[in-house]
Amino acid sequence: FVTEVFANDFQAILLLFKDPFMHYVRYQGKSILASKDTPLLIKKWKNYLVNLCQCHFSVWFQPAKICINPLSKRPLDFLGYLSSLRLNLSVVRSQMLENAFLINNAMKKVDTRIPLFPLIRSLAKTKFCNAAGHPISQPIWAGSSDSDIINRFVRICRNLSHYYSGSSKKK
Locate the domains of the chain by residue range. Answer: 1-70, 71-113, 116-165
On the question of pLDDT at 135 being above 60, the answer is yes
Other beta carbons within 10 angstroms of residue 76's beta carbon come to 13
Q: What local confidence, expressed as pLDDT, does residue 77 receive?
A: 55
As a whole number of angstroms, the distance between CA 74 and CA 145 comes to 47
Residues found in the chain: 171
Q: What local confidence, expressed as pLDDT, does residue 148 receive?
A: 77
Q: What local confidence, expressed as pLDDT, does residue 9 receive?
A: 43
On the question of pLDDT at 130 being above 70, the answer is yes
Sign of CA dihedral 124, 156, 169, 161: positive
pLDDT, tens digit, for every residue of 149-168? Answer: 777 777 777 777 666 665 55
pLDDT, tens digit, for every residue of 77-98? Answer: 555 555 555 545 555 555 555 5
**Long-range contacts made by residues 97-100, C-beta under 8 angstroms, separation at least 24?**
none
